Every structure is written in structure tokens, then in C-alpha cells.
């Protein structure tokens, strides 16, 4: 047989669309060509495959070899196509049975010795295999959260369980996906022995790591925070409703310390959320490990990050930090030090919870439903308002510094609070009973989230305008106080409705069906930092 077909998958825009690897051997001058829009990594596989086959004792055909990666309009990258290309050459030359490749998918990078190296994207590939095996459907559409979840669930209409063959070090990650049998191979000879049906070379499906009862990674505890009762309460409200939050205060006040403790206050991930987060991390340059299962992402990019790094870019499109933080926390420290253009790219995804990256040949729709926590100093030197007079900035310099943040961006941040510096006396007077633990705060947050899901099926942050009118309106006294505050501080319509959402979260923590004036007053206090007075 001079033609063999092997199935694999490509990393593209956060997904794993199916790729058919066709290998044809023809008479003529010996050559080795790869077509189908391969990048440099894929083209270099010719030398890796040649050396691996020869060093493993296989015969490398001295013929005209053509490898086609279909579909031809989908860009192909990474070294994962080494294994399917090598298997295709062996099947086309009759060294392994071609029928053994049917109904199976393969991916892996080969070393020159024939060993299989670990690869990124194994979890995302298993998601695509479990859902798309044998369907022939186009999986290159959007990469939204719903499509990731659909790809991770087994298809009830397909009776045969698909098989996926990966490097041994990547198989345990992929085995977390239901609906697919994952096999791990250490090298090319052992995999070929399994495909040839050798009794002493049978591979067994890899069992999913037992992580259900594993102890989760230790999270920073709120009990470590000294003082800052107002900031602790604001962080609890933000966690309850999923609200974006900005903290303004001098150096060393504890802004970064508070932000790092927000993931420990959030409810545990559901099965669907865990699958979505794992698939996004797996398909990114970061990769995914089973130790990250059900862990809320916490991303803290440096202020020198570009717009493409923050919201996504490249060609083909790759997810940015806001997508890698999906269902978790995106922490932006020293917010005014970010380039203004970079910050402005956050406006739409913060509002919509997704980001669409368009290129000439491909459009990718990435989920971006993260919780933004930002921190900044009140002026360039950081000491504006300090009672000891340490600030060296003129009013004009301080105003120019604050104006680096646009009004439309600030409008989208629900909670804006000041973090005062602690005095030496407050630090010295700390006792072990001062701070409430993250566990006790998280219990209240879970109860508040459950109230929201029972009432409206979503977090308070995600409510639409009509839903806000239906579920967030306070009583008559609270309504009057809210109207007065909106007129005094000059809130926009967006800011007004966002304050109402915070009011609803405060009431949910208290267990109130109708918010009262005290809860409105608390929510108003969380919106005064950048309000004109």
C-alpha cells in the first residue's frame, strides 16, 4: 500500500480542530515534502521523523514521500504531527497494518531516538476527540465557553469510544476528559507493537489521576491581613457578586496582599467550569497540569504587557491574559503604569465577558468572564494625602496621573475603594484573633452566590438592565438615597446600574430579599474614589 491516512488534531485559537494526515509514497527521485499550510516547526519534522525511524530499526522508504495536512486552509503548528507522520510512513510502506490506524487519533513530538516528548494541548485535544470523533463536522468556528463544554462531553449518538494516543507524560492530563480512551506511549517502537497486535506489547488506557479527593493547593488566607476591615468587607462583596474592584492606596498598604486572597473567597468550580478552564489553559502556551484541576486561575501580568498579551492576538489568534483568567481573577497592579491603549482594550471584554479576535483568514471568539482586581497608588510618588507630608507631587502631577485612567474604563469597575496605610501602632497591636479566615468568609460568599443562582441563574455582575430593575431595586428609603447619591456624584447610567448590582450583592450577603437604605449606603461608599464632589 502506498497511501495511508492518520487522524490528529491541531492547536488553533484555543481549540483542537481535526487534521487528516495523508501520506503517499510514489516512484521517482527520493524526496520528502509536507504540504497543507505547515509552519517551520512542522516542516522540521521531516528530519526528526527520518532520524527516529532509522534509529528505531524501521526502514525509511527511499521514495518520493508527500505528506498532506488537511484541511489545507488551517494553519498547522507545533511538533505534535511528528507521530502521525511517522505512523503514516510506516503504514504506507507496509511496516505496520494500515487498518490499525482507523478510528484512532495520534499526536506527539518525536526525539531523534524515537522517544515521545510531552506536548501542550493534550487536554484540549482530548476534548475535541471525545466530541468530534467520526462526525466530520467543522470545529473551526468559535472558541467560546459553550463550545468548549460541548467538546468535552461524550456524544451519546456514537457507540464506539474513540481512542487517543499521546506521549506517556501527557496522557494523564488528557485522561481527565470523559468519553475518550487515552493511551500513553513512551516511544515509537512500543506504540507500533501495540498497533501490530503483539501480545507482549499491549498498551492499556491511562487512568485519570485521582484528584477528586486530593488536597487542594494552599491558598493565601485572609487571616494574615492586618486591619483593613473596610477593604476586607469590600473584597467579600466583590466575591459575592463577581464585581470588578479597584484599590487605591499608598505603597505597602496591603493592596496586592488583599488581591491575592480573592481566589480563596470564590466558590469551588463546578464540573463544567473546571473543564472549560482546563481546556483553555491546555491549548495556550502555558499548558495544563492535573494539579491545576478545579483551581481558580489568578493571573497577574506586568504593567509592561502589550495589548496582544492582555486580550489576545497573533496569527492564528491565541488567547491573552483576560482569557487565561476566565472564571478566575485578573490582577492588574500599578494600573496607571499600563499603556493607556492597552487598558482601553479591556473595556469591551469586561462588559461582555468575551473577546473576539479577527484576522484575515480566521476569527476566534474567546471567553473572558474573569473578575478584574486592580491596584494603584494615588499619585506617582505614592504618598498623596499622607499625614507626614511625604508626598512630593504637585496637584497638577497627581491629577495627570489619575487621568491615565479613562472614564469609560472606570465606569466598568463596580467597586472603587481607598486603602489607608497602617500605622506602626496598628501593626504592633495585632493579635491572632484580629483577622477572620478565608474559609468563614467563603462560606458566606457561597450562600450569597446560591441565592443569586436560585433567583436569576447568574451572578449579580452579569445582570442585564431589565433584570437589574426586576431584582435589584431597594425599598423607598433606599431608592431616595440612591437617587440623591447619583445626582451628587454625577454617575452615568452605567455607573448607576452597577451600583444597583453592588447593592444587590450586599443584600444577598445579609439574606435580604429587598435591599434597604443601609445596604444602599454601603454600596455608595464603594463608588466614591473617582466621583466628582
Look at residues 521, 500, 518 and name the one whose alpha carbon lies nearest to residue 510. Answer: 518
What per-residue confidence (pLDDT) applies to 211? 59
Residue 317 has pLDDT above 80, yes or no: no
More confident residue, 80 or 317: 80
pLDDT over threshold 80, residue 101: yes
Average pLDDT for the chain: 86
Instruction: Kindly tell me the burial class for residue 29, based on how many C-beta atoms sit within 10 Å of its own C-beta (0-12, 13-18, 19 or more).
Output: exposed
**pLDDT at residue 84 greater than cutoff 50:** yes
**pLDDT value of residue 154:** 45
User: Nearest Cα to 263, choosing from 233, 218, 310?
Assistant: 218
All CATH 3.40.50.300 domain ranges in the chain, comma separated? 222-462
Which residue intervals of the chain bear CATH 3.30.230.10?
A: 3-201
- Assess whether pLDDT exceeds 50 at residue 149: no
Per residue in 225-274, pLDDT (tens digit) is 888 888 999 999 999 999 999 999 998 888 999 999 999 999 998 888 88
Average pLDDT over residues 66-93: 93
* Of residues 294 and 218, more confidently modeled: 294
Q: What number does CATH give the domain 222-462?
A: 3.40.50.300
> How far apart are the C-alpha atoms of 214 and 209, rounded to whole Å?
10
148 pLDDT more than 60: no
How many helices and strands (H and E) does the chain possess? Answer: 22, 18
Give the DSSP letter string of 85-152: HHHHHHHHTTSS-GGGGTTEEE--EEPTTSBEEP-TTHHHHHHHHHHHTTT-----S---HHHHHHHH
| pLDDT at residue 142 tops 50 | no
Name the pLDDT band for 520 (thresholds 50, 70, 90): very high
Helix axes 82-92, 188-195, angle to 10 degrees: 50
Residue 376, SS3?
Answer: strand
Which DSSP state fits 187? B
Confidence of residue 156 (pLDDT cuts 50, 70, 90): very low
Which of 2, 76, 83, 75 lies closest to 48, judged by CA? 83
Question: Between 499 and 15, whose confidence is greater?
Answer: 499
User: For 371, phi and psi rounded to 5 degrees?
Assistant: -105, 115
Partners of 76 in beta bridges: 38
State the DSSP string of 35-50. Answer: ESSB-HHHHTHHHHHH
Average pLDDT of the segment spanning 310-325: 84
Question: C-alpha grid cell for residue 330?
Answer: 485578573
Give residue-wise pLDDT tens across range 479-501.
Answer: 999 999 989 888 888 889 999 99
In this structure, of 157-171, 183-197, 400-414, the range with the lowest mean pLDDT score is: 157-171
Rounded to 10 degrees, what is the CA torsion of 409, 471, 515, 370?
-40
The third-level CATH classification (topology) of the domain covering 3-201 is Ribosomal Protein S5; domain 2 (3.30.230)
Q: 408: helix, coil or strand?
A: helix
pLDDT of residue 434: 60
Confidence label for 531 from pLDDT (cuts 50, 70 and 90) = low
pLDDT exceeds 50 at position 201: yes
* Cα–Cα nearest to 439, from 236, 212, 245, 227: 236
- Tell me the pLDDT tens digit for each residue of 372-431: 999 999 888 888 877 777 888 888 888 888 888 888 899 899 999 999 888 777 777 765
Phi then psi for residue 392, to 5 deg, are: -105, 5
pLDDT at 363 over 80: no
pLDDT of 179 over the 50 cut = yes
How far is 465 from 269, CA to CA, in rounded Å? 27
Q: What is the DSSP letter of 336?
A: G
pLDDT in tens, 446-464: 999 999 999 999 999 999 8
Q: How confident is the model at residue 199 (pLDDT cuts 50, 70, 90)?
A: confident
Query: What integer is the mean pLDDT of 367-375?
Result: 93
pLDDT in tens, 103-124: 899 999 999 999 999 988 888 8
- N- to C-terminal Cα distance for the chain? 82
Amino acid at each position: 500500500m502506498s497511501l495511508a491516512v492518520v487522524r490528529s488534531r491541531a492547536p488553533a485559537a484555543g481549540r483542537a480542530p481535526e487534521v487528516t494526515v495523508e501520506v503517499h509514497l510514489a516512484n521517482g527521485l527520493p524526496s520528502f515534502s509536507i504540504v497543507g499550510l505547515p509552519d517551520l516547526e512542522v516542516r522540521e519534522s521531516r528530519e526528526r521523523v527520518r532520524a527516529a525511524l532509522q534509529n528505531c530499526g524501521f526502514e525509511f522508504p527511499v521514495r518520493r514521500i508527500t505528506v498532506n495536512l488537511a484541511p489545507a486552509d488551517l494553519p498547522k503548528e507545533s511538533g505534535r504531527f511528528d507521530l502521525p507522520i511517522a505512523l503514516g510512513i510506516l503504514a504506507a510502506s507496509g511496516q505496520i497494518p494500515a487498518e490499525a490506524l482507523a478510528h484512532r487519533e495520534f499526536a506527539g513530538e518525536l526525539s531523534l531516538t524515537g522517544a515521545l516528548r510531552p506536548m501542550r494541548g493534550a487536554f484540549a485535544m482530548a476534548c475535541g476527540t471525545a466530541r468530534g470523533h467520526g462526525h466530520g463536522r467543522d470545529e473551526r468556528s468559535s472558541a467560546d465557553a459553550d463550545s468548549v463544554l460541548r467538546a468535552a462531553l461524550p456524544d451519546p449518538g456514537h457507540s464506539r469510544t474513540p481512542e487517543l494516543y499521546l506521549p506517556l507524560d501527557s496522557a494523564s492530563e488528557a485522561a481527565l476528559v470523559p468519553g475518550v480512551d487515552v493511551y500513553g506511549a513512551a516511544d515509537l517502537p512500543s506504540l507500533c507493537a501495540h498497533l501490530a497486535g503483539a501480545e507482549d506489547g499491549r498498551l492499556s488506557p491511562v487512568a485519570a489521576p485521582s484528584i477528586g479527593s486530593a488536597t487542594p493547593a494552599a491558598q493565601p488566607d485572609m487571616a494574615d491581613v492586618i486591619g483593613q476591615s473596610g477593604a476586607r468587607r469590600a473584597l467579600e462583596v466583590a466575591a459575592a457578586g463577581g464585581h470588578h474592584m479597584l484599590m487605591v492606596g499608598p505603597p505597602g498598604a496591603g493592596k496586592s496582599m488583599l488581591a491575592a486572597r480573592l481566589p480563596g473567597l470564590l466558590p469551588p468550580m463546578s464540573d463544567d467550569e473546571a473543564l472549560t478552564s482546563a481546556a483553555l489553559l491546555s491549548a495556550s502556551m502555558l499548558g495544563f497540569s492535573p494539579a491545576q484541576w478545579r483551581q481558580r486561575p489568578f493571573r497577574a501580568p506586568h504593567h509592561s504587557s502589550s495589548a496582544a498579551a492582555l486580550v489576545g492576538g497573533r496569527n492564528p489568534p491565541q488567547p491573552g491574559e483576560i482569557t487565561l483568567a476566565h472564571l478566575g481573577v485578573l490582577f492588574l497592579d500599578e494600573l496607571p503604569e499600563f499603556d493607556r491603549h492597552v487598558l482601553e482594550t479591556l473595556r469591551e471584554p469586561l462588559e461582555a465577558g468575551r473577546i473576539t479576535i479577527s484576522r484575515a483568514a480566521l476569527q476566534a471568539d474567546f471567553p473572558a468572564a474573569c473578575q478584574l482586581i486592580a491596584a494603584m497608588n494615588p499619585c506617582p510618588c505614592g504618598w498623596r494625602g499622607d499625614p507626614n507630608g511625604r508626598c512630593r507631587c504637585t496637584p497638577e502631577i497627581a491629577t495627570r496621573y489619575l487621568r491615565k485612567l479613562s472614564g469609560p474604563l472606570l465606569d466598568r469597575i463596580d467597586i472603587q475603594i481607598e486603602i489607608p496605610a497602617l500605622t506602626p501602632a496598628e501593626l504592633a497591636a495585632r493579635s491572632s484573633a484580629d483577622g477572620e479566615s478565608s474559609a468563614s468568609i467563603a462560606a458566606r460568599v457561597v450562600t450569597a452566590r446560591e441565592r443569586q443562582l436560585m433567583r436569576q441563574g447568574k451572578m449579580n455582575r452579569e445582570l442585564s438592565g431589565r433584570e437589574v430593575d426586576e431584582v435589584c431595586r431597594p425599598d423607598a428609603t433606599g431608592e431616595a438615597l440612591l437617587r440623591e447619591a447619583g445626582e451628587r456624584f454625577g454617575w452615568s447610567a452605567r455607573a448607576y446600574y452597577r451600583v444597583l448590582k453592588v447593592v444587590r450583592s450586599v443584600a444577598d450577603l445579609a439574606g435580604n430579599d429587598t435591599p434597604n437604605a443601609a445596604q444602599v449606603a454601603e454600596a455608595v461608599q464603594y463608588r466614591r474614589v473617582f466621583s466628582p464632589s
